[in-house]
Amino acid sequence: MLILRQLRKLNAAQRLQLGVDQSRRNLSDASLQYDKDPQPLFTDAETQRLLQSMTQLQLEKVFRKRTVADNSTETKFMTTAQLEKEFVLTIEKAKKLLQMPPVVQIKKDTERIISKDPALKDFDNSKYVFTDISFGLRPSDRKVVVRDVDGTLAYAPLETQKRMNQLYFPLDGRRSYTPRMFSDEQLLQRCLDDHKYEFILDRLTVQYEPYEAEFHNISAKVFTHLNESKQFDLLRSTRHFGPMAFFYAWHRCIDDLLYDMIRRDYPYNAVQLIALSYKIHNVPVEYGKTLSQLEALQPTPAERALEELLSRLKKPSEKGIEQEIQTAIGKTEQDFAADEISLKFIEQYIGSEHALKKVQLELAVQTLKEVNLEKLQLFKGLKKAHGVQAS
């Protein structure tokens, strides 16, 4: 009896919450939405490569210290060969951790009736849900059907299907009710004002499927807030940077992110962002050549990270003077060459009609140029002083 009462209460609460959800959906309808299916463009190999490269792979960020239940450490002896293998595995792990949640269209709920049995009308005063709970099925493949009170047997709506999946095969971290963070506008706003973007997006990814409307609404809200606060670095080297860049490129508001990239001395990423936006909007500008030129000069983030890890194996005496100069300045000769090409491309973009914040971008590019020139002079001077052959 008591359990029944509890259940009824729960149902009532659910209905209430549904009302809240709907009102929120109306509120956030004004926010930016994908007008057509973004999935083909997003999963495109080139786009993925661009987004991954823009995300970067900063090891300290990917493997930063988190609050976990088990914070034990394990000390081991390893040979150099074992360590090299370990580093490769670490990079693989990092890649997995940086896998982007897909950007797909909102899935519409369609009514799929299996059979109508009027003879069964009023068999009970509540619906019956039947779930296939056989082991090993994918959540999307799991069959959930509902027998309505009027005798209709139909496939369950998406929401019910998700709920049943969560009931029988709970996903770690996903709640069967909407977390208050997502149902309460004020709480979400508080999170946003505290710049807890990664936390919101992580929880969003766990709680909702990428095809759900809530996922789109809340992530759009986060990205717009982020575009205003300009704290893009908080998402760099996380799995949400790619979708964020894709969102800005899709909605033609890349200038703030672009400015941030130039200011932080990532001109290569800036070029990639511009190229992505050209690609999405089919702008007739030839960007492929510049990209391939840059790709030849610059290693991918994973390669760069692996190189960094392997350099830790070297003893200080083994490192040559050339490398020391490079680490002191932070750039190699190839980097300087790549920067030159990318800056040229960025200037072209600023000159075109696509750029909105031209003055700001122009200034940033100028500053970067000057700094680069200074660094190059210092680099050459140091090399000469140490008698390293200029290649």
Partner 1 sequence: MARLLLKHFTIANWWASEVQLGKSVSALSTPSEYVLVRNISFFNKLPAEDIWRGVTAVSNAGKKRGRGKGTGKKVAKDLNRGQTIGLGKKNFIWPGLNAPIIRGNEITHQQKQFENMDRENSIISLRDSMGNFKLMKLNPIDRGWSGTKMPGRSIGSPDAVGEENFNLFDTRVLENKIVFIMKGNMGRKRRYSVLSVTGNKNGLAGFATAKAPEVRTALRKSRNRSGQKLISIDLYENRTINHDFYTAFGKTKIFVFKKPEGYGLVCHRAIQTICKVIGIQDLYAKIEGSTNLQHIVKAFFIGLMRQKSYNDIANEIKLHVVERQMAKNGFTEIKASPVQDLQISENNRFIDFMQFTLGNKIVLRKKKIPPYYVNSKGHHLFECKAERFRNQSNVRLHKLVNCYM
Q: Is 88 in the site for partner 1 (CB under 8 A)?
A: no
Tell which phi-psi region holds residue 225, choosing left (phi > 0), alpha (psi between -120 and 50) or beta.
alpha
State residue 281 phi and psi, 5-degree precision. -95, 10
Q: Closer CB to partner 1, residue 10 or residue 371?
A: 10
Q: Which of 252, 302, 261 is nearest to 282 (CA)?
A: 252
Q: Is 5 in the site for partner 1 (CB under 8 A)?
A: no
Judged by CB under 8 A, the stretch of 72-80, 109-117, 186-194, 335-343 that binds partner 1 is 72-80
Determine which residue in the list 1, 2, 4, 81 makes contact with partner 1, applying CB under 8 A. 81
Structure tokens at 109: 């709920």
Determine which residue in the list 312, 387, 389, 390 makes contact with partner 1, applying CB under 8 A. 312
Q: What is the DSSP letter of 312?
A: T
Determine which residue in the list 5, 36, 66, 108 makes contact with partner 1, applying CB under 8 A. 66
Q: Closer CB to partner 1, residue 10 or residue 373?
A: 10
| Number of other CB atoms surrounding residue 334 within 10 Å | 12
Q: Closer CB to partner 1, residue 79 or residue 282?
A: 79
Q: Closer CB to partner 1, residue 18 or residue 371?
A: 18
Give the span between the Cα atoms of 245 and 33, in whole angstroms. Answer: 15
Shortest CB 272 distance to partner 1, Å: 27
Residue bearing tokens 């680490």: 327
- Cα dist. 241→20, 52, 228, 329 in Å? 30, 9, 16, 27
| Amino acid at position 101, single letter | P
Shortest CB 7 distance to partner 1, Å: 12
Q: Is 67 in the site for partner 1 (CB under 8 A)?
A: yes
List of residues contacting partner 1 (CB under 8 A): 9-10, 13, 17, 59, 62-68, 70-83, 86-87, 90, 93, 97, 175, 177, 179-180, 312-313, 315
